Amino acid sequence: MISIWLIPGVILVVLVTATVKRIPAYEVFVEGSKEGLNIAVSLLPFLLGMMVSIAIFQASGAMNAVLSFLTPFTNLIGFPKEVLPLAIVRPISGTAALSMTTEVIRTFGPDSFIGQLASTMQGSTDTTLYIITVYFGAVGIKRMGDALKVGLLADLAGIIASVVIVTLLFS
Amino acid sequence: MVNLIWVFLAVSGILYAAFHGTMGEVNQAIFKTLDDSVMITISLAGVLVFWLGLMKIAEEAGLLNGLARLFRPIVTRIFPEIPKDHPALGYILSNMTANMFGLGNAATPMGLKAMKELKKLSKSDQASRSMITFLAINTSSLTLIPTTVIAIRMKYGSADPTSIVASTILATIISTMAALMIDRYFYYRRKRVSRQ
């Protein structure tokens, strides 16, 4: 698989190029790394805060209540109800979405229509809330402008695109 | 808006638990999450320290500039506000490349570096146009090879685990284009509002 070669390959190219250009690679590495440590430490409050809120919402059962409330509406437009929870959770929580995808694939089989749809959805959308929290948290952006709206609408576009494309390709 | 969402998730969760007798679960979840978030930050720290170190070498060796020069025609059109030779372009491109190959772990540090450079450009605590565009691209996900999903499909005995690569690429292309258009729409709307 290409991804097994990719990371070692990148490391190789970077280190060889640096050596050819006579750059003190190790010293530069340490210098750049320190910034990584600072970013990680400054991220904790943002990440922890967001994760606690999401955990409360999930553990209380409120998330499931929202999902069962929405099911009749999505049935109306013919959206497969088996993947609805995934579509709603995907922008909020990456780990929850991944475990839902796993559950759907386990229950319906990876090669079923539902399994293909969940797989495609998982691959073509991302955890908007996490990305916004981490990226804006790291640089101290307080006013987010339209970022959240744009991100969530982009997720919606990804979910609709997944349903249409998987329907065309697999059913 | 994120303030509202944050408060809403916690408050509605606690109220829901009060009426449905799930307060015990909520309590447990809170303390488990505190641990989890520290663990995630620590594992993120490893990735960040390593990749930012390596990226610093790549930057000094001129590799990031090379990458930026190669894709400049496309990227400057997506990010018209970033000066042509700015280091932000190099980081944005490395972030996109890592995302395309499903290397989420390697993509985040470069995305954060890109954000820092964009912040230097905008010098404000408000999200700039380029930042919102960059986030839109990230949230719509650029994955070409969804490695995690393929691994799960293998585990549950798929006859063809990689059959979803084509559909994922198509869905990703459509969702990224849609994200860019949505982003443009909101940008021009902001501009219209501020002119009035």
ipTM of the complex: 0.80
pLDDT in tens, A109-136: 999 999 999 999 988 888 888 888 889 9
User: CA–CA separation, A58 vs A122, rounded Å?
Assistant: 19
Map tokens 């999450």 to a residue: B33
Q: Tell me the pTM.
A: 0.82
Give the minimum alpha-carbon distance from B84 to chain A in angstroms, rounded to a whole number: 22
Instruction: Give the mutation candidate from B135, B154, B191 for the A interface (greatest A CB count, under 10 A).
Output: B135
Query: From the list A51, A53, A119, which residue is nearest B149 (CB)?
Result: A119
DSSP B104-137: HHHHHHHHHHHHHHHHHHH-SSBPPHHHHHHHHH
**Subunit contact A36:B32, Cβ cutoff 8 A:** no
Give the number of residues written for chain B. 196
pLDDT in tens, A30-54: 998 988 888 888 888 888 888 898 8
Q: Among B101, B127, B103, which residue's Cα sits nearest to residue B115?
A: B127
User: CA–CA separation, A157 vs A125, rounded Å?
Assistant: 9
Span A48-77, average pLDDT: 86
